[in-house]
A and B are shown apart, each in its own frame.
Chain A
Amino acid sequence: LAKTTQPISMDSYEGQEVNITCSHNNIATNDYITWYQQFPSQGPRFIIQGYKTKVTNEVASLFIPADRKSSTLSLPRVSLSDTAVYYCLVGDNTNAGKSTFGDGTTLTVKP
């Protein structure tokens, strides 16, 4: 399983765009990149997933360069309610196996 590295914490202000980068140098050909969000006292919640280039949904965008050794989660115009821990997960779903969550990035949005 590919090991992931994320910043431990980030601070932002309401209305700003936030970019959280995850490094995964050992990503395998079949691996996808998935991001989860976790609020205190709750289980993680799926945000977005991608394989290459750019993926956008109503919540976020995910940018993946051609070498796929990193990925960037982009949250547009964050609000206080976006304060949470964000996890980058890299894994191959075609082979049944474990998933590995890192320590995540704690995003704090300030007013």
Chain B
Amino acid sequence: GAGVSQSPSNKVTEKGKDVELRCDPISGHTALYWYRQSLGQGLEFLIYFQGNSAPDKSGLPSDRFSAERTGGSVSTLTIQRTQQEDSAVYLCASKLSGAYEQYFGPGTRLTVT
């Protein structure tokens, strides 16, 4: 079956512009995570959605970052007024409720010039 997909795969933007990153989770997966991975670093948790519950936004680094999940499926991560330090790979993962295994998408590589 289809895995987690993310778009775009690569995004180059100018400093100060807004960007939207999209994640399509595996059908039926109620939990969805966003992570950020800078070059050569580990994964940094950003935000977590579980069903209809309020998302856990505790990992968002600033108020320039926001995310939403529509209809319990597709999620969009928005970064406003991008900065060069936002350059990283943004990974999305989904999982079944009650399961531990997360399924990751291929990521979106964001470059802010």
Pairwise interchain contact B101-A34, C-beta atoms closer than 8 A: yes
CB nearest to A100 among chain B residues: B45
Classify the secondary structure of A's interface with B: loop
Contacts known (A43-B91, A98-B48); A34 close to B104, Cβ less than 8 A: no
Pairwise interchain contact A103-B42, C-beta atoms closer than 8 A: yes
Number of B positions contacting A (CB below 8 A):
26
Pairwise interchain contact B100-A49, C-beta atoms closer than 8 A: yes
Instruction: List the A side residues contacting B101 at CB < 8 Å.
Output: 34, 46, 49
In the assembled complex, B31 has its CB within 8 A of some CB on chain A = yes
Bound form: Cα–Cα A36–B35 in Å: 14
Question: A91 to chain B: closest CB distance in Å?
Answer: 7
Pairwise interchain contact A44-B43, C-beta atoms closer than 8 A: yes
Pairwise interchain contact A34-B48, C-beta atoms closer than 8 A: no
Classify the secondary structure of B's interface with A: loop
Instruction: List the B side residues contacting A43 at CB < 8 Å.
Output: 4, 91, 93, 104-107
In the assembled complex, A101 has its CB within 8 A of some CB on chain B = yes
Contacts known (A43-B105, A43-B107, A98-B58); A93 close to B42, Cβ less than 8 A: no
Bound form: Cα–Cα A34–B107 in Å: 21
Bound form: Cα–Cα A98–B102 in Å: 12
Number of A positions contacting B (CB below 8 A):
22
Instruction: List the A side residues contacting B111 at CB < 8 Å.
Output: none
Give residues in A with beta carbon < 8 Å to B: 32, 34, 36, 41-46, 49, 87, 91, 93, 96-104
27 contacts between A and B (CB under 8 A): A42-B106, A43-B91, A43-B93, A43-B105, A43-B106, A43-B107, A44-B43, A44-B91, A44-B93, A44-B102, A46-B101, A49-B101, A87-B42, A91-B100, A93-B99, A96-B53, A96-B56, A97-B48, A97-B56, A98-B33, A98-B45, A99-B33, A99-B102, A100-B45, A101-B42, A101-B45, A104-B42
